């Protein structure tokens, strides 16, 4: 049984922030949960999936975040507590639903987890999603630790029901991916009831006349939400002294350590904010009245800072309030304890002794070699990229490559260099249309299978309908690999007892009106090269579906590893073709070997047998079975 279902109230467990969120939802009796995977939120869905196979919780990997939010909204409108989780940019996809969901409201508690990614560890931007709470008029909680992540998730369901509004739980990577001690609470003992949808179209169907009233209702709820924030146990003032610090999220943890290490616990009044929208104006006013100057510590945008300054203005206070600025905090990237401690010390004029960090490059005397991430050995994406590179070369054409979001985005790096433009999920195919229209050049767009279902379908329909001239290559590796191998509508190889029904991608492409489409196996080089050349040479909308499963995923599901191994049999000289065009991580050169030759590391080789098809110097190792 999942550790998250342990029915031992009072026990402490070492939970990841994401696991703590799941536990909080389970303690709150969540009945339905939906997600689209995305780092740093992915483990929320993955743990919920496991729990759903062991309990009566309904969980789904939805096709995208908008779908997930709407499925959850439907359940919450029918009396089921519901949760949906996504990475920060996922909320952009779901924003259309989010903006009007507050008008409609919820009948049972609904929690929307938005996991922001300061420093862009695995994202295309570092937007601050707290503004969504403000934009949509929804209450928001911001945990500063895994324990708070659990407590706040649980509390968010109650709050949501009291207000009849969905509640946002806004985390950052450091909360999602930190393990900490979490004290278990009780799980609900009574089985969940069947949902019931109470018809009420003149409050639930957002046509203009209804929505006008609904907006007024939302504005009234804002005032009630603010009263809740005033009384919330997640907003506290501790310590006393003329210096004030206000903080939220993991930045609040950095502040606590800074106060400890600078010995300022008795000099600083600390406003720790966990219920950050609507901001508790009275509490903030009380805090401001007690101090002479204020430092606001929050990662990314000056969300609290601007609110706090507004409260000061309304209270007629003119004390200095600062957060972002020169010599202060940046709007960029995540903070760290010493950075926060340094700014606190500078702002209040106390000494700080930072640890004297060693400088590795300085000690070494030159920059250290980088270690960029790379597509794995045996990755089908690399094989397809290779075919496209060679096809273009043989045709004497230079291609432009709009790409999309997934492992294959790593094709950006040399030697593949197969990415020229990327904004967001699904943008490969649509931006390709604009680029091709404007330039008249050969445009080859790449999209993964999961991303295709997430945001590619409408773009492809548009390309067909508007007679664009693009080649779309769907890199179908049978899973959502980058985020941890979650299923999606196109998958056929699934974990045992996965209930999802597969949809054939080739059938979808055909049904969208694409007349020139083909499925190729990227590991059959001759075949994929011929098909690629033909597709590049043609005009109109062409689709190639490059179909071969993610090698890591197959290993995980089937527990089998290919035993075939390959070697370079002759000194291949200074050719370097494989390194310059293919770049498998199992390939290496020995600078001191005295011969110019490429080698294959048998421990890293996945046995995909692709390189052997394009290079005569590479041959199977005798006795290594396929």
d(CA 543, CA 531) in angstroms, rounded, equals: 10
Judge whether 575 and 594 are in contact, CB under 8 Å: no
Least distance in Å: CB of 238 to other proteins? Answer: 13
| Binding residues among 238-257 for other proteins as defined by CB under 8 A | 250, 253-254, 256-257
Least distance in Å: CB of 363 to other proteins? Answer: 5
Least distance in Å: CB of 334 to other proteins? Answer: 8
Residue with tokens 């929307």: 112
Could you tell me which of 105, 116, 171 has the C-alpha nearest to residue 138?
105
- Beta bridge mates, 296: 246
Least distance in Å: CB of 435 to other proteins? Answer: 25
* Contacting residue, 350, 588, 593, 602, with other proteins by CB under 8 A: 588
Q: Is 560 in the site for other proteins (CB under 8 A)?
A: no
Q: Is 349 in the site for other proteins (CB under 8 A)?
A: no
- Residue 178 Cα distances to 40, 147, 173, 221, 486, angstroms: 11, 11, 8, 34, 21
* Contacting residue, 6, 219, 231, 260, with other proteins by CB under 8 A: 260
Q: Which is nearer to other proteins, 349 or 369 (CB)?
A: 369
Least distance in Å: CB of 409 to other proteins? Answer: 8
- Residue 111 Cα distances to 156, 221, 338, angstroms: 6, 17, 33
Q: Does residue 356 sit in helix, strand or coil?
A: coil
* Contacting residue, 5, 557, 589, 612, with other proteins by CB under 8 A: 589
Q: Which is nearer to other proteins, 138 or 410 (CB)?
A: 410
Least distance in Å: CB of 240 to other proteins? Answer: 20
Q: Does residue 557 sit in helix, strand or coil?
A: helix
Q: What is the DSSP string of 430-474?
A: HHHHHHHHHH---BEEEEEHHHIIIIIHHHHHHHHHTT---EEEE
Fill in the per-residue mask, 449 to 478: x = in contact with other proteins (CB under 8 A), - = not in contact: ------------------------------
Q: Is 583 in the site for other proteins (CB under 8 A)?
A: yes
Element containing residue 428 per DSSP (H, E): helix 427-439
Judge whether 6 and 55 are in contact, CB under 8 Å: no
Q: Which is nearer to other proteins, 398 or 592 (CB)?
A: 592
d(CA 461, CA 486) in angstroms, rounded, equals: 26
Strands 587-589 and 598-600: antiparallel
| Binding residues among 314-343 for other proteins as defined by CB under 8 A | 336-339
Phi and psi, residue 543, nearest 5°: -130, 130
Could you tell me which of 250, 43, 226, 235 has the C-alpha nearest to residue 143?
250
Question: Angle at Cα 19 formed by Cα 18 and Cα 23, nearest 5°?
Answer: 120
Part of the chain binding other proteins (CB under 8 A), chosen from 24-32, 78-86, 321-329, 580-588: 580-588
d(CA 419, CA 401) in angstroms, rounded, equals: 5
Phi and psi, residue 594, nearest 5°: 85, -10
Q: Which is nearer to other proteins, 208 or 369 (CB)?
A: 369
Q: Is 585 in the site for other proteins (CB under 8 A)?
A: yes
Least distance in Å: CB of 365 to other proteins? Answer: 9
Could you tell me which of 154, 130, 131 has the C-alpha nearest to residue 142?
130
- Beta bridge mates, 269: 244
Fill in the per-residue mask, 62 to 81: x = in contact with other proteins (CB under 8 A), - = not in contact: --------------------
Quick one: tokens of 358?
Answer: 């060693």
Could you tell me which of 167, 158, 60, 32 has the C-alpha nearest to residue 105?
167
* Contacting residue, 196, 233, 326, 371, with other proteins by CB under 8 A: 371
Q: Does residue 429 sit in helix, strand or coil?
A: helix
Q: Is 622 in the site for other proteins (CB under 8 A)?
A: no
Least distance in Å: CB of 366 to other proteins? Answer: 9
* Contacting residue, 35, 160, 178, 532, with other proteins by CB under 8 A: 178
Q: Is 625 in the site for other proteins (CB under 8 A)?
A: no
Q: Is 145 in the site for other proteins (CB under 8 A)?
A: yes
Phi and psi, residue 346, nearest 5°: -65, -45
* Contacting residue, 194, 349, 351, 364, with other proteins by CB under 8 A: 364
Least distance in Å: CB of 458 to other proteins? Answer: 26
Total residues at interface with other proteins (CB under 8 A)? 58
Q: Which is nearer to other proteins, 339 or 612 (CB)?
A: 339
Q: Is 181 in the site for other proteins (CB under 8 A)?
A: yes
Q: Which is nearer to other proteins, 1 or 231 (CB)?
A: 1
Q: Which is nearer to other proteins, 297 or 531 (CB)?
A: 297
* Contacting residue, 407, 471, 509, 520, with other proteins by CB under 8 A: 407
* Contacting residue, 370, 398, 497, 616, with other proteins by CB under 8 A: 370
Phi and psi, residue 93, nearest 5°: -65, -40
Q: What is the DSSP string of 210-269?
A: HHHHHHHHHHHHHHHHHHHHHH-TTSEEE--SSEEEEEETHHHHHHHHHHHHHT-TTTEE
Q: Is 482 in the site for other proteins (CB under 8 A)?
A: yes
Q: Which is nearer to other proteins, 127 or 409 (CB)?
A: 409
Q: Which is nearer to other proteins, 256 or 269 (CB)?
A: 256
Q: Is 16 in the site for other proteins (CB under 8 A)?
A: yes
Least distance in Å: CB of 173 to other proteins? Answer: 8
Q: Is 264 in the site for other proteins (CB under 8 A)?
A: no
Q: Is 13 in the site for other proteins (CB under 8 A)?
A: yes
Q: Is 594 in the site for other proteins (CB under 8 A)?
A: no
Q: Please list, in sequence order, all residues whose beta carbon lies within 8 angstroms of the beta carbon of residue 456, skipping any fewer than 6 positions away.
A: 404, 426, 428, 429, 447, 474
Judge whether 384 and 390 are in contact, CB under 8 Å: no
* Contacting residue, 190, 357, 438, 625, with other proteins by CB under 8 A: 357
Q: Which is nearer to other proteins, 9 or 354 (CB)?
A: 354
Quick one: tokens of 304?
Answer: 């609290």
Q: Please list, in sequence order, all residues whose beta carbon lies within 8 angstroms of the beta carbon of residue 371, skipping any fewer than 6 positions away.
A: none
Q: Which is nearer to other proteins, 109 or 411 (CB)?
A: 411
Q: Is 39 in the site for other proteins (CB under 8 A)?
A: yes
d(CA 505, CA 452) in angstroms, rounded, equals: 9
Q: Which is nearer to other proteins, 356 or 626 (CB)?
A: 356
* Contacting residue, 201, 316, 351, 369, with other proteins by CB under 8 A: 369
Residues in touch with other proteins (CB under 8 A): 12-14, 16, 39-40, 42-43, 121-122, 144-145, 174, 177-181, 250, 253-254, 256-257, 260, 336-339, 354-360, 363-364, 368-376, 407, 410, 415, 482-483, 579, 583, 585, 587-589, 591
């Amino acid at each position: 049984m999942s550790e998250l279902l342990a029915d031992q109230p009072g026990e402490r467990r070492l939970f990841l922030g994401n696991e703590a969120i799941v536990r909080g939802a389970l303690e709150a009796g969540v009945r339905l949960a939906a997600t689209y995977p995305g780092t740093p939120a992915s483990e929320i869905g993955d743990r919920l999936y496991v729990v759903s196979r062991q309990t009566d919780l309904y969980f789904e990997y939805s096709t995208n975040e908008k779908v997930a939010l709407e499925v959850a909204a439907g359940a919450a409108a029918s009396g089921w507590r519901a949760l949906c989780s996504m990475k920060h940019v996922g909320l952009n996809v779901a924003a259309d639903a989010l903006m009007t969901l507050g008008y409609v409201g919820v009948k049972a508690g609904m929690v929307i987890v938005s996991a922001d990614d300061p420093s862009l560890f695995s994202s295309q931007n570092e937007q601050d999603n707290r503004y969504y709470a403000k934009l949509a008029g929804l209450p928001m909680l911001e945990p500063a630790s895994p324990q708070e992540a659990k407590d706040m998730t649980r509390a968010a369901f109650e709050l949501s029901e009291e207000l009849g509004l969905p509640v946002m739980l806004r985390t950052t990577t450091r909360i999602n991916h930190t393990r900490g001690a979490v004290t278990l609470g009780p799980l609900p003992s009574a089985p969940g009831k069947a949902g019931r949808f109470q018809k009420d179209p003149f409050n639930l169907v957002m046509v203009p006349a209804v929505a006008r009233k609904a907006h007024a209702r939302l504005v009234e709820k804002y005032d009630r939400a603010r009263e809740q924030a005033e009384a919330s146990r997640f907003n506290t003032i501790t310590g006393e002294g003329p210096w004030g610090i206000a903080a939220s999220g993991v930045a609040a943890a950095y502040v606590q350590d800074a106060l400890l290490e600078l010995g300022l616990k008795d000099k600083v009044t600390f406003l720790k904010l966990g219920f950050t929208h609507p901001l508790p104006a009275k509490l903030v006013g009380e805090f401001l009245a007690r101090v002479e100057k204020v430092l606001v510590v929050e990662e990314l945008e000056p969300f609290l800072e601007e609110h706090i300054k507004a409260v000061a203005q309304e209270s007629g206070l003119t004390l200095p309030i600062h957060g972002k600025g020169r010599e202060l905090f940046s709007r960029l990237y995540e903070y760290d304890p010493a950075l926060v401690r340094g700014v606190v010390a500078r702002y209040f004029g106390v000494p700080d002794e930072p640890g004297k960090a060693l400088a590795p490059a300085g000690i070494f005397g030159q920059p250290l070699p980088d270690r960029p991430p790379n597509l794995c050995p045996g990755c089908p994406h690399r094989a397809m990229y290779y075919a496209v590179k060679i096809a273009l070369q043989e045709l004497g054409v230079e291609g432009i490559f709009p790409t999309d979001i997934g492992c294959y985005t790593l094709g950006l790096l040399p030697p593949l260099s197969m990415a020229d433009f990327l904004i967001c999920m699904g943008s490969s195919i649509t931006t390709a249309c604009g680029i091709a229209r404007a330039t008249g050049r050969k445009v080859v767009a790449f999209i993964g299978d999961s991303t295709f279902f997430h945001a590619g379908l409408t773009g492809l329909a548009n390309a067909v309908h508007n007679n664009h001239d693009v080649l779309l290559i769907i890199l179908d590796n049978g899973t959502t690999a980058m985020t941890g191998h979650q299923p999606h509508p196109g998958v056929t190889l699934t974990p045992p007892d996965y209930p999802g029904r597969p949809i054939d991608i080739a059938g979808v492409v055909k049904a969208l009106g694409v007349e020139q489409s083909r499925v190729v196996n990227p590991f059959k080089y001759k075949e994929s090269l011929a098909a690629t050349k033909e597709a590049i040479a043609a005009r109109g909308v062409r689709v190639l579906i490059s179909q071969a499963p993610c090698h890591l995923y197959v290993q995980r599901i089937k527990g089998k590893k290919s035993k075939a191994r390959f070697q370079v049999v002759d000194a291949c000289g200074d050719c370097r073709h494989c390194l310059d065009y293919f770049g498998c991580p199992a390939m290496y050169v020995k600078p001191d070997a005295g011969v110019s030759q490429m080698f294959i590391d048998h421990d890293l080789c996945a046995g995909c047998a692709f390189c052997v098809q394009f290079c005569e110097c590479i041959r199977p190792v005798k006795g290594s079975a396929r």
